[in-house]
Amino acid sequence: MSTTITSAPAENIQLRDARPSFFGLVRGEFFKVIRLRTTWIMLAVVLGVTILPYIILGYAPRRLADITADPLTFFYNVLSTGLSILRVFSGFFVLIVTARMIGLEYQLGTIRVLLARGVGRLQLLFAKLLTVVIIALILLVVGLLLNYLLTLILVEIKTGNLNAFSVLTSQFWSDTRTFVLYLLINTAVSILLATAAAVLGRSVSFGLTAALVFFPIDNILTGIMVLAYRVTGSDFWLNLTAYFLGPNLNQMPAVLTSGRVSSIGAAPIFFTDNGVTHGIVVDGTHTLVVAAVYTVIFAVTAIWLTWKRDIKE
């Protein structure tokens, strides 16, 4: 008895492309992020610090007088405080998530496995960036809705009704949209900063450290430039601060809304002495251009290094 083994012609065999698709990579990145305990801890922190100011305001006796006497000013103060806190802590969140997501592949060496399966370097980078962008947008939308809901609750508790909202003008809502745009710009800058740092250092520790200390150093340098001006008497040092990223981001909402809305940490990067202005008085266009330049630098750095450098991890 004999057994004959036949095989189908090679032309009839259809081999499925085993390389991961772009959106398959995105799904994989989502899976990795949501499985990290630190992600949920950070989200809990963002939630807590968002709610905390409204709890404090709820127990402040004089806030009832603020709402009834000058409700528009009260709403502007709540807008500046609530959204500034959201901006700061959502910025920290995306910095940490981005640096971990990109740096961890290099640190663990898993990037070599992914590249060996046919994933392109830039394809992997863009998949990670899209994942972070989607997460950041969800966080901002939830944060904005939470701030609005907490404001409704606060006014209801303090006054027993929502009549105070009738004073909100079209200018207020326009300023609110400007602040939301500012949040998006700040988020984009933070994501690309962390991306450039993680790609440059090729490790979580370097990426986290460089991304988290960038803005504090940026703002500390402003104080050093002021000190250098006082020692030398030259405006050159003060003029430099007009091109630092951190101070420009801090000033952005104020200059875009003519001072009606401010941001936490928005210290002037110029000052007046005996009627003479020292340093460069920035406007909204200036802050937007500076932010755009830094954004391009971070993006080009991350893309170029990812594309050109060999993977030896």
Mean pLDDT of 121-136: 93
User: Angle at the Cα of 134 (from 129 to 135), degrees rounded to 5?
Assistant: 100
pLDDT in tens, 22-53: 888 888 888 888 888 888 999 999 999 999 98
Percent of the chain topping pLDDT 90:
38
> According to the model, what pLDDT value does residue 138 have?
95
Per this entry, what is the length of the chain?
A: 313
**Burial profile 165-185: b = 16 or more Cβ within 10 angstroms, e = fewer:** eeeeeeebeebbebbeebbeb
Please state, as a whole number, how many other Cβ atoms lie within 10 Å of the Cβ of residue 85: 19
Whether the per-residue pLDDT at 1 is higher than 50: the answer is no
pLDDT in tens, 59-100: 776 666 677 788 888 899 889 889 999 999 999 999 999 999
Q: Which two tokens stand for residue 151?
A: 């404001």
> According to the model, what pLDDT value does residue 310 have?
76
pLDDT in tens, 251-299: 899 889 988 887 766 656 665 555 555 667 788 899 999 999 999 999 9
Mean pLDDT of 205-211: 90
Band the pLDDT of 19: cuts 50, 70, 90. Answer: low
Band the pLDDT of 178: cuts 50, 70, 90. Answer: very high
Whether the per-residue pLDDT at 108 is higher than 70: the answer is yes
**8 A C-beta contact, residue 182 and residue 87:** yes
Give the chain's mean pLDDT.
84
Mean pLDDT of 163-169: 88
Q: What is the value of pTM for the model shown? A: 0.86
User: Angle at the Cα of 182 (from 69 to 189), degrees rounded to 5?
Assistant: 150
